[in-house]
Structure formats: structure tokens, C-alpha cells
A and B are shown apart, each in its own frame.
Chain A
Amino acid sequence: MASAADVIVVGGGVIGSAIAYYLSQEGTKVALVERGDVASGTSSACDGNILVIDKMPGYDSQLALKSQELLAELVESLDYDLEYAQRGSVLVVEDEKQAQVARDWFTRQKDAGLPMRYLEGKEVFEDEPLLAHDMVGLVECASDASLNPMAFVYGLISGARRAGAMIHPFTEVTGFLQDSTGVVRGVETTHGTISADKVVLAAGVWTPGLAATVGVNVPIKPRKGHILVAERSPHPARRKVQEFGYLLAKFGGTEGRSVEPDMDRYGVAMVFEPTEHGNFLIGSSREFVGFDQRCNHHVLELMARRALRFFPTIRDIRVIRTYAGLRPYTPDHLPIVSPVPTVPGLYIAAGHEGDGIGLAPITGRLIAQMIVGEPTAVATEPLRIDRFVNKEHKGE
């Protein structure tokens, strides 16, 4: 079956869905092609935190803040229950040594205009009474929120569909169509060809394989993470709590934590997220083990041990399910949201590591603006794919 569209979006995760949504709101005729069901890749094996608190102060955090604003609009405009709650989030500080780094982090974010507070001493336990009693500080970001990531995808997809987008689930893209000068003309799929002058590649950790078929090198690697799901139970905290050491695990520092060596080896850092259904989720881990998505029992044990370090009262609460997902990691911790200079008409929107749910609104908006030819909501220079090419030339 051959068909045509203005823009083809490859991938029905949160990023592809947001792009399809924003583009279709502009009146663009969109075809979204997804190999499985929508929300069946990383966007179905993750948490749903919409955070500014864990971003690098500067461009990274401003991008996340802008995305939070767009999300608040989506919550109103999408006709779908996203299970959205804006309760803020906190980073918990374990000892005085960490507190020095944490205060500096807090000051830089606050000076950049983010809605942050620093609590210490007694204030910590007035705020979150069930935290282990030797905790020394809390950094709070009031604008942080959470939602159900799969509901978010379904909501974006149904919004896009209502605005005229064609959604093709269970259809795999097997190659790109190009004219004799290399300009993109569409895609080849397991159900026939679709022609379009623009194609957006939003295939998460699977982006490099597809991009390689048109000679484009995309430095995205799968970075595996595990989650423990707790039964419905009283929550040990009233909002999202992460250990400050999570930032070290994410950005690759090692200073500031005294933990058993395997905690660092598997990038284990405590992340607690309450859900709207009365369950709670415990993360996190970070490792490069290719595309293996099976749960590693040893890592699950480490995560449970780490969670008890911060929340001793959850000892008798049961874990009912565990899963692992693959974060699309890039070497500089920023996603790629960019036209591909060597293949006119091709765009890439991938590499959001542990932030894709939160950054989906701004990513969708930016790609739509690039394609329609409007000025972009934020500068997109730091998100361009050529930044990696330039690095190689400098021999880094």
C-alpha cells in the first residue's frame, strides 16, 4: 500500500508522539510509523518524572523548565487523563560532605531563576518525617511534576489523530527513499512505502541503526535502568525524592558517596516516585550492556538496599513487579533535536537519556517549528547533530 504525507515520524514513543501532536496542530499532514504498539519501547519502561531539579544548571535546566510550561498547557488541551500531579520534588542530602556540593548546586539553580529551596536540620524531618534520621538536607524544586508516561503517549496520539495524523502501529520502517541528489522522499515499511518530503527519526535507542542506512553516525547508546514497583501502600514520602548522589550517577561523577563498590558499578542511586494509584516506584540503576532488557537480580537487590538506606520504614512493603528499560544516552547528556545536514529533509529527535518524558513537549514543539519554518522557542544550537562531528574533527 503506497500513501503520502507532508511529514513522516518514525517511532511511536513519547518523542515521536509529541512531534506528531505538535506538527498536526500546525495543520501539517503527519504519518507516524511505529514497529510495535505505540508506547512499547523505552517510554513504556520508565518513570514519569517531569523534572528540572536534576538538570545541569544552564541551558539544560532552562530547556526542562520550558518543557514543564508546555506540559502544563498539554494537560489542559489533551482530552486524556495523564495522571498529572505537580507536587514538586526533592533531592535528599546524606552527609555534610555532600551538603557542600548540594548547596552550590542549589545556589546556581536558584540564581538562574528556578523555584528552589534548601532545607536543613529539623526542617528536613518536618518536611519528610519518614526519611532516615541521619539525613542532613533537602533541595526542593517546586515546579517539578509527574505523570503516567504511557497515558501521556496515548493522549498525544489521540490528540494527533483527532487533528488528522495517520497512525500506523505494527509497521516497521525498513529504509529511506531518497532522490538522486540524496534528498529524502519517504520511507519503506513492512506495509509498503509512504512518501513525504520530510522524515523525522524518533526511534530512541534504535535511532543509530536506522540512521546508519543513510550514512549518518548517531552516537546514542542504550543505558539500561531498572525499576521496582511496590504494592499499594502508605507512601514513605509525599512527593518525589531522589538521593543527591543520583546526579553523580547520571553525570558520571564519583565523589561524595560512600557506598559498596557494586552500587557505583551499576550506577545505583535511590529514586522514589509515588503514583496516582497508590503504588510507588523505586529506581534507579545505570549500565551499558547493549540491548539486554532482562532484569538483573543482583542489581534489584542493590536497589532495594539503597532504598532502605533512605526509607527504613518500607522494609515490609512488597515489591510486586520489576522491569528494565533502555535510556537513549548521548555523550554530552543533551538530546539530538536537529536537521541532518548531509541528508536534506531528514531530522533526528532522539537521545533524551533519563529525561525524555519531561523533554517531550519542548522536543515536539521545536521539531514542529523547524519544519514549519518558525523561529524556535529556545536556541537549538546545543542540540544539533553536528556538535559530535565537530568534536571528532578536533580529535576529542
Chain B
Amino acid sequence: MMDDDTIVCRCEEVTVGQIRQAIREGAADVTGVKRRTRAGMGLCQGRTCEKIVMRILAQELGKPLSEFAPATVRPPVQPITFGLLAEGTDG
């Protein structure tokens, strides 16, 4: 069992306890946790924490890990500056 104070999402400093609380409030998937806690909303967009969030979901909801998928990818896949985006460099 992970400790409630352990930080899961380092970009947004979200703890295991906050994720458990979000699940008690009704979060049923990675996106639901993200919307309630901001886990995965930082610079890395969940690349580091998404797997752990899925594991906590599986544990708390008593379901197999395979039932959980990563959140939908929101472009850009890599962060891009306003300057480069405006010039159309990425497209």
C-alpha cells in the first residue's frame, strides 16, 4: 500500500491521498482523476505518473489493471513555443 503523502505527479505535486480522494468522489478513470486533481496536467503531460494513477485506480476500485487505459493524448505531443507554433513549423 502506498502512503497517502507520497507524491505521484511531480509536475503538479499531486499525492496518493488526493488521488484516492478523487476516486471516492467519483473519478473512474485516468481522465476523471486528472480533471479532479491535475495529476498529469503539467509539463510532462502524465508521461511519468499515468501508470501509477492507473495502479491506484485498479487498487481502489478493485478492478484488474488491464481495464484502465491512459488518458487521450492532447496535441502537441511535445511542448512547442508560441513562436514556433505561430510560424507553422510543426505542421
Contact = CB atoms under 8 A, between A and B. Distances in A.
Interface in A46-103: none
Contact of B43 (A231, A308, A323): A231
A158 interface: yes
Contacts of B26: 37-38, 157, 167, 169
Contact of A316 (B32, B81, B91): B81
Interface string B67-91: 0000000111001111101101011
Interface in B10-58: 12, 25-29, 31-32, 35-36, 38, 41-43, 45
A394 interface: no
A110 interface: no
Contact of A315 (B76, B82, B90): B82
A251 B68 CA distance: 42
Interface in A296-337: 297-298, 300-301, 304-305, 307-308, 314-323
Nearest to B28: A37
B74 A321 contact: yes
B41 A321 contact: yes
Contacts of A320: 42-43, 45, 76, 79
B79 A319 contact: yes
A308 B81 CA distance: 11
Interface of B is mostly: loop
A304 B36 contact: no
Contacts of A295: 74-75
Contact of B85 (A150, A154, A304): A304
A87 to B, nearest CB: 21
Contacts of B85: 228, 300-301, 304, 319
A317 B43 CA distance: 12
B76 A322 contact: yes
Nearest to B90: A297
B91 A297 contact: yes
Contacts of B27: 37
A200 to B, nearest CB: 21
Interface string A136-176: 00000000000000100010011000000001011000000
Contact of A318 (B29, B74, B79, B88): B79
B83 A308 contact: yes
A52 to B, nearest CB: 27
A39 B26 CA distance: 11
Contacts of A17: none
A51 B2 CA distance: 43
Interface in A272-313: 277, 282, 295, 297-298, 300-301, 304-305, 307-308
Contacts of B36: 150, 154
Contacts of A231: 43, 79
B35 A317 contact: no
B75 A317 contact: no
A307 B82 contact: yes
B67 to A, nearest CB: 14
A24 interface: no
20 contacts: A37-B31, A38-B26, A39-B35, A150-B35, A150-B36, A158-B25, A230-B82, A282-B82, A297-B90, A297-B91, A298-B91, A304-B82, A307-B82, A314-B82, A315-B83, A318-B81, A319-B76, A319-B80, A321-B41, A321-B74
Interface of A: 37-40, 44, 150, 154, 157-158, 167, 169-170, 228, 230-232, 277, 282, 295, 297-298, 300-301, 304-305, 307-308, 314-323
Given A232-B42, A307-B82, A308-B86, 13 more contacts: A37-B31, A38-B26, A150-B36, A170-B28, A230-B82, A277-B12, A300-B85, A305-B86, A316-B81, A316-B82, A319-B85, A320-B42, A320-B43
Interface of B: 12, 25-29, 31-32, 35-36, 38, 41-43, 45, 74-76, 79-83, 85-86, 88, 90-91
A-B pairs, top 6 by smallest CB distance, nearest first, are A318-B79, A315-B83, A304-B86, A304-B85, A305-B86, A321-B74
